[in-house]
Amino acid sequence: MQQNRKVERRTILKAGGASVAALGLGATATACGGGSGAGDGTVTIRYAWWGAEDRAKRINETVKLFEKKYPKIKVKTDFQVYTDFWKKFNTQASGGNPPDVFQNAIGFLRKYDAKNVLLDLSEQVKAGNLSMDGFRAGLEKFGEIDGKLLGVPVGSNSMALVIDKPVYTKAGVKPEQGWTWDDFDAAMKKIRDKAGRAGDTGPYNVMYLYDLYLRQNGKAFFTEDGLGFTEADLKDWWTKAEKGVESGIYADQKKVAQIKPKSAVAAELSGGEFTWDNFTVRYSSEGKSEYGLAPIPTTDGKKTGQYLGSLMLSASKRTQHPKEVAQFIDFMVHDPEVAKIMGYDRGVPATQAQYDAYKPTDPVNKEIAAYEESLVAAGVLEPITPHPNGADVCEAAFLRLGEELGLGKRSVDDAVKQFFTESKTALSS
């Protein structure tokens, strides 16, 4: 798979909010939604997503399959890179004419539901046009908000520790399920001392890792209506990150910034870093070593705080063709042939039928599947923390301020204060 697509996908979840945080969506107009009908009963629906050229090619192949099965439904496709997608979507939604069906993520559900943009697909489930059966590991609940079905998962991923295997072997480090943060810190020192590089890229701005750490300690990054942690909590997290860089167990953040978009692991600045499991392919395309997935460290040796995340398909509340949109979503998440085309492009397939239909043969994707299976077998998966309206702005602030802190542009106290100021404004709007 191509490097640019993997970098793009990392941007989606790790840096996504930064580009859309400043984009406000005003009250949507009452104009009718997208899609059109023809005299012979044929209807056209609009489908939009973000991604790179490779994803677009795969999705267009699946659309052709859908149109063969449903010859009376034509699909007009549109894709953009992540930042451009949300700019265009905002403009369309503000004008009352968003695409009929579109790719979505958890951080945007409450935001666009509050703007009256998203269709509750529950009625289409009741009508038999969309099945929510056969999803893996409770993913059928992922897009439910306040009793409404606002998104249907297309794939799953979970946070993991991506490691340079030879480096870990040289340092004599063997991470196992249930290892603690104390074990992790000791391992980072071994890598620094025996392998001659930083043990980890550093957790400054990895919001979803901090969420897991909070969940391990009975808190969470988000609650349904705000932040689930205090300024003191964040100060502790960022202070530890700063000390880690000073001691050499975390990578020099200036060097990390210089080699972007290449990862610090592939650039041999660090022995590992926390990211989403399905991003592992990018490391093989960027670097020369052998890379693998390791478990998330724990506070008590048991609770990782993990959940399965997912990209989703959502529908416009203004679509003129809710039945056809539901049939399209149903096809995209259940049809086995779709999985064979898409592979793990958007994560491990969300439904069991698609999971069974696509069996990866390459070592990297086989390890991704095995990793998620291990999470299910270990019983560590929990429901995802709700994301309130404004979550995307909070994520953007966490990313930006974490980077500024790592580059020495802000003190810990200043970064913490600024984060809470921006987040409180975003969450109260």
DSSP character string of 281-335:
HHHHHH-SS-EEEEPPPBSSSS------B--EEEEBTT-S-HHHHHHHHHHHHH-
In this structure, how many other beta carbons lie within 10 angstroms of the beta carbon of residue 246? 9
Q: Which CATH architecture has domain 159-306+386-428?
A: 3-Layer(aba) Sandwich (3.40)
| Mean pLDDT calculated for residue range 280-300 | 92
Residue 165, pLDDT score: 97
- Alpha carbons 109 and 106: distance in angstroms, whole number: 6
* List of residues 6+ apart from 301 with CB closer than 8 A: 178, 179, 180
| Mean pLDDT calculated for residue range 68-76 | 98
pTM for the full predicted model: 0.81
Q: Which token pair is 53?
A: 């050229």
The answer, yes or no, to whether residue 15 has pLDDT greater than 60, is no
Residue 35, pLDDT score: 59
DSSP 8-state assignment for residue 108 = G
Helix axes 231-247, 391-406, angle to 10 degrees: 30
Within the chain, all domains assigned CATH 3.40.190.10 are found at: 3-156+311-358, 159-306+386-428
Which of 25-29, 74-78, 346-350, 392-396 shows the lowest per-residue confidence on average (mean pLDDT)? 25-29
Residue 26, pLDDT score: 39
Query: In Å, how far from its chain's centre is CA 148?
Result: 21
Helix axes 391-406, 412-428, angle to 10 degrees: 170
Exposed, middle or buried, 300 (CB in 10 Å: 0-12/13-18/19+)? exposed
Q: Under CATH, which number does the domain 3-156+311-358 receive?
A: 3.40.190.10
Which of 30-39, 114-123, 386-395 shows the lowest per-residue confidence on average (mean pLDDT)? 30-39
Residue 191 banded pLDDT, cuts 50, 70, 90: very high
Phi, psi for residue 19 in degrees, rounded to 5: -85, -20
The answer, yes or no, to whether residue 27 has pLDDT greater than 60, is no
Kindly report the average pLDDT of the chain as a whole number. 90
The share of the chain scoring above pLDDT 90, in percent, equals: 78
| Mean pLDDT calculated for residue range 305-320 | 95
Residue 37, pLDDT score: 65
| Mean pLDDT calculated for residue range 285-309 | 94
- Alpha carbons 127 and 424: distance in angstroms, whole number: 41
The answer, yes or no, to whether residue 2 has pLDDT greater than 60, is no
| Mean pLDDT calculated for residue range 175-195 | 97
Give yes or no for a cis peptide into 261 (omega within 30° of 0): yes
The answer, yes or no, to whether residue 306 has pLDDT greater than 80, is yes
The answer, yes or no, to whether residue 22 has pLDDT greater than 50, is no
Q: Which token pair is 87?
A: 């700019």
